[in-house]
Every structure is written in structure tokens, then in C-alpha cells.
Chain A
Amino acid sequence: MRTSLMCLAFALVASVAWAGEFNKKLNIGDPCPGFQNLEGVDGKRYSLDDFKNKDVLVIVITCNHCPMAVAYEDRIIAFAGKYASGNDSRVALVAINVNNIEADRLPAMKQRAQEKGFNFPYLYDPSQRIGRDLGATVTPEFFVFDKNRKLVYMGAMDDSQTAPRVNYLEAAVQAALEGKAPAVKETRARGCTVKYEN
């Protein structure tokens, strides 16, 4: 009985310890959850392995309808233009939508990507699995994985939607490119709640 209680207590503590400060699923150092054959707005299908030649992989869980996600579109485009453009770039950025409301489904994604000129793959996961596996609960929420596809940063792109002073994403990517750990490894993302289906 006593042993069982100790095991239970350990399990409870461990369940907390394994999660991040603001993420109930992932912690820094965890491997990148896989995704396979997700359809992109360009009509192609993408899997995690498609990015294996990149030194750094950025995944952003985002969507169309959320004003906070929209507010970050230009910043994501600028980031991709600076770090993740061209086949020879060392960084890849992949945006994934896991919301299934009409305004966020693939046809709307394609329209939005065209309107804004997205310069990165924008994928749709109607199963919502990658969102759950990442522990992503809001849009936009950013995840940075190093060359070994270990998580080195997760959270917000920067410190303010309106007047950013610190770009956590860029700092994390720069550090990962230099083989170092970023000074800030996790922040609390703010945004629209991802609508997970039970």
C-alpha cells in the first residue's frame, strides 16, 4: 500500500516535472513530434523528414481567423525571408493550422497565403495531432528545434504584440545555429485558444 502511494506521488510529481513551465506536454530538450503527409497550401504534402537537412526547424501553430495570429503574419514573413528562404538556408519555418472551423480550413488557408504572399509552407492538420503533441494551445505559438530536433525554445515570438522589444524566436534560432542554448528557453504565448475537438 505504502509503495503504491509512493509510486502515485512520484507519478504526480513526474507529470508536472515533464511538462514545460507554460506547456503541459513538452519540455525543453524533448524530441520534435513527428508529422506525416500534411497538405500544404501549395498542394504538396509535407512530413517532418522533409526538413531533415535543415540545422534548425521552426514550427508555428497558427490559423487564419485569429486577430493575434493575423497580427504576427508580417513578422513571420519577415522572419522567413531573413532566415528560412531558399534551399540553401540552414533554417526552415513551417506554419501549421490545426483548427477545423470553416474560416481556418484549407480553402481559406490557401486564400490567405495567396493574399499575404506566405514565403513558407503553411500546412493543415485536420486530425489536430501535431497541435496536441506539441502541447500548443494558442495561435500563434512557436517551437524551435535544433539540428538534433530537440526542442530549444517554445512560446511567443516576441515580448509584445504592439511594440516588441525582444525577439525570442530570432534569439533562439541564432543560438541554435551557433550550437548554443538560448538565454530564454520558454515564454508564455498569448493568442486565440486552439479549438480542440474531443
Chain B
Amino acid sequence: MFRKSSWILVAWCFSLSFGCQYSTGRSSNAREQTECECSPPATTGVSLRIVTCKEWDDELKKYRGHYVIVDTWATWCGPCREEFPNLVKIHRRFRDHGVVVMSVSVDDPKAEKPALAFLQEMQADFPNYLVHDPALEWWDKWQIKGIPIVLVFSTEGRLLRRFDRDDPDRQFTYAEVEEYIAQLLATKNPS
């Protein structure tokens, strides 16, 4: 018997695959300039940009042609901080292979300074966002229970894989994320 919960799960997975494309968003010059199939848009140093959920959709669109790894974290999240160096390591390994790592903080905007300080300490020289999300839209959009959570998007901006800790017995590791990206690239570029 395929229960209701199972159908919901199937529908949820399907909806997630389109989850980041529902808002049209406005084009920006930056977007037009950076939509290319070469290297990712350059990041100068470490910065943090406060965006709405919808504005983040537009940001993601800038990276069409690249695999995008999105890590949701917060300064108040101990595991997020502890494990953040793993994300930076993934960035260092794959940044020249068509992969963009980005972080999305779910901190209150009041925590912008400590969030940026942490990112600088981590030398997180990739796109960093703080989503201004009083209605917790970000959490609902990606069906997030807890953080950290890592979402991997295809070169077309479609959600490929979700790494979460929603099962006490199957908690993702960043090593798994790294292995998954390596496999993705190997499949795309077989030697």
C-alpha cells in the first residue's frame, strides 16, 4: 500500500526540483554580465549580501552553467560553524571545475557583522548571503527542519541532491557532499 505520506514525498521531491524557479525575479546588469559558460563570477575578498528569498533566486540564476552547492547555516548553529571549514575545502577543490559554492545565513540581519566576521575568519571567498526572512520563507521553501543543510543544483539551476540531517541514523557529512560533486564532474567529463 502506497500511503498518502509516500505520495506527498514523491510530490515534494518533484516540487523541490523546481523549487528555486518559481519566482521570475528581475534581471540585473550583473546577471547579464556574468551569465557565461566560462569561470564563475569573481568574488573579491569575503563579503556578505543581505537578500530576500526572491532576490536569492535571482542570484542563483547568475550561475547557470555551473553546479552550485548551497550551504544554509547560522552563527548560532554550532555544527554549522564547526563544519564550515569542510565547505571551504570543497570550494578550494572544485572552484576551477565549474562548481560554485555559496553560503546562505539564516541569521537575523542584526547578526550581519558577526556573520561576516566568521566568513572572513573562514576565508570564505565565495558568494555569501544572509537571507532576510522574517516569515521563514527560506525554511518552508526547502522544507528545512534543521541546519546545516546542503543543496546541490544542476548547471540549469535544478535541485539535484539534498544533504540533510532529517534522519537521526543518516546524517550527511561534508565528505559525502565532496564525493558526490566529484562523481558529478566525473560523469560530466569522463576521462
A interface residues, Cβ below 8 angstroms from B: 13, 16-17, 19-22, 24-25, 27, 65-67, 101, 128, 131-132, 135-138, 160-162, 188-196, 198
Could you tell me the distance between the alpha carbons of A164 and B71 in the complex, rounded to whole angstroms?
Answer: 28
The interface residues of chain A lying within 8 Å CB-to-CB of B8 are: 21
Q: Evaluate whether A19 and B5 lie within 8 angstroms (CB atoms) in the complex, with A132-B168, A193-B77 already known.
A: yes
Chain A CB within 8 A of B171 CB: yes
| Main DSSP-derived SS at the B contact region | loop
The interface residues of chain B lying within 8 Å CB-to-CB of A194 are: 146, 165, 168
A13 touches B168 (CB 8 A): no
Could you tell me the distance between the alpha carbons of A24 and B167 in the complex, rounded to whole angstroms?
Answer: 6
Could you tell me the distance between the alpha carbons of A15 and B169 in the complex, rounded to whole angstroms?
Answer: 14
**Among the listed B3, B9, B136, B147, which residue makes an inter-chain contact with A193, where contact means beta carbons less than 8 Å apart?**
B147
Q: Evaluate whether A16 and B9 lie within 8 angstroms (CB atoms) in the complex, with A137-B145, A161-B136, A188-B145 already known.
A: yes
B5 touches A137 (CB 8 A): no
Closest-by-CB residue of B relative to A10 is: B1
| Residue in A13, A16, A135, A198 with the greatest tally of chain B CB atoms within 10 Å | A16
Could you tell me the distance between the alpha carbons of A13 and B147 in the complex, rounded to whole angstroms?
Answer: 27
Chain B residues bordering chain A, tally (CB within 8 A)? 27
Closest-by-CB residue of A relative to B134 is: A162
B145 touches A196 (CB 8 A): no
The interface residues of chain A lying within 8 Å CB-to-CB of B139 are: 190
**B74 CB, nearest partner CB in chain A, Å:** 8
Chain A CB within 8 A of B166 CB: yes
**B107 CB, nearest partner CB in chain A, Å:** 10
**Among the listed B76, B145, B169, which residue makes an inter-chain contact with A189, where contact means beta carbons less than 8 Å apart?**
B145
Can you give 13 contacting A-B residue pairs, CB < 8 Å? A16-B3, A16-B6, A21-B5, A21-B8, A25-B168, A65-B78, A101-B78, A137-B168, A190-B144, A190-B146, A192-B77, A192-B78, A195-B79
Chain A CB within 8 A of B2 CB: yes
**Among the listed A101, A135, A192, which residue makes an inter-chain contact with B168, where contact means beta carbons less than 8 Å apart?**
A135
Q: Evaluate whether A135 and B134 lie within 8 angstroms (CB atoms) in the complex, with A67-B76, A190-B146 already known.
A: no
Could you tell me the distance between the alpha carbons of A136 and B169 in the complex, rounded to whole angstroms?
Answer: 11
The interface residues of chain B lying within 8 Å CB-to-CB of A16 are: 3, 5-6, 9
**B175 CB, nearest partner CB in chain A, Å:** 12
Could you tell me the distance between the alpha carbons of A130 and B79 in the complex, rounded to whole angstroms?
Answer: 21
Could you tell me the distance between the alpha carbons of A194 and B164 in the complex, rounded to whole angstroms?
Answer: 12
**B115 CB, nearest partner CB in chain A, Å:** 14
Extra A-B contacts (10), CB below 8 Å, given A13-B6, A128-B168, A193-B147: A17-B3, A20-B5, A21-B8, A24-B167, A24-B169, A24-B170, A27-B5, A132-B169, A137-B166, A190-B139
Q: Evaluate whether A137 and B2 lie within 8 angstroms (CB atoms) in the complex, with A16-B9, A193-B77 already known.
A: no
List the 8 shortest-distance A-B pairs measured between CB atoms, nearest first: A193-B146, A24-B167, A138-B146, A132-B168, A17-B3, A67-B76, A16-B6, A193-B165
**Among the listed B136, B148, B170, B171, which residue makes an inter-chain contact with A190, where contact means beta carbons less than 8 Å apart?**
B136
Closest-by-CB residue of A relative to B139 is: A190
Could you tell me the distance between the alpha carbons of A140 and B136 in the complex, rounded to whole angstroms?
Answer: 16
The interface residues of chain B lying within 8 Å CB-to-CB of A65 are: 78
Could you tell me the distance between the alpha carbons of A104 and B77 in the complex, rounded to whole angstroms?
Answer: 13
A131 touches B76 (CB 8 A): no
A17 touches B146 (CB 8 A): no
| Residue in B144, B166, B169 with the greatest tally of chain A CB atoms within 10 Å | B166
Could you tell me the distance between the alpha carbons of A20 and B2 in the complex, rounded to whole angstroms?
Answer: 13
The interface residues of chain A lying within 8 Å CB-to-CB of B168 are: 24-25, 128, 131-132, 135-137, 194, 196
